[in-house]
């Protein structure tokens, strides 16, 4: 699991799209954090490369909205323990160390690819919560 922080202004500047009109627009957006499950690296983080891609699945704090066009109902979630909102059909997954939130779910068919900046100091893995 990971928390991704998206900073629209920094992203635009890094891409070299920092013209006045674009910067005015992104400055109206706020940086946000997202709880995700890291499914798989699409690219390995390398010290000489500024970015790498990961396949991630956002973690929901509610049941998911139904999507009739794709045959998805709101109960198509997997609770993450210590979430106690589950039926016998959908038992929670238990991370290897305690999960810090009691209201989270894995939603099906929500994975996406994200680009993550590789920091020179590396990534802190100690204390990471894993399945």
Q: Give one DSSP letter per residue of 62-100, joined into a string.
A: SPPPPBGGGTB-TT-EEEBTT-----TTSPPB--SS--S
Tens digit of each residue's pLDDT (9 = 90 or more) over 39-56: 888 887 777 778 889 999
> How much is the mean pLDDT over the chain?
86
Single pTM value for the model: 0.78
What integer pLDDT is reported at residue 124 of this predicted model? 66
* Beta partners for residue 77, in sequence order: 107
Q: Which residues contact 86 (CB under 8 A, 6 or more apart)?
A: 79, 92
What integer pLDDT is reported at residue 30 of this predicted model? 83
3-state helix, strand, coil in the chain (%, to 5): 15, 30, 55
C-alpha pair distances (Å), 58 with each of 2, 21, 63, 104 = 10, 31, 13, 10
């Amino acid at each position: 699991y990971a928390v991704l922080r998206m900073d629209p202004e920094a992203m635009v500047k890094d891409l070299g799209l920092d013209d006045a009109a674009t910067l005015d627009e992104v400055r109206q957006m706020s940086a946000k954090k997202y709880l995700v499950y890291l499914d798989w690296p699409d690219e390995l983080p390398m010290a000489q490369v500024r970015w790498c891609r990961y396949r991630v699945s956002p973690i929901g704090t509610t049941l998911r909205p139904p999507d009739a066009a794709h045959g998805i109902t709101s109960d198509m979630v997997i609770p993450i323990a210590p979430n106690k909102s589950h039926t016998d059909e959908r038992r929670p997954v238990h991370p290897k160390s305690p999960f810090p939130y009691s209201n989270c779910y894995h939603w099906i068919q929500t994975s996406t690819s994200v680009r993550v900046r590789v920091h020179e100091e590396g990534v802190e893995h100690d204390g990471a919560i894993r399945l």
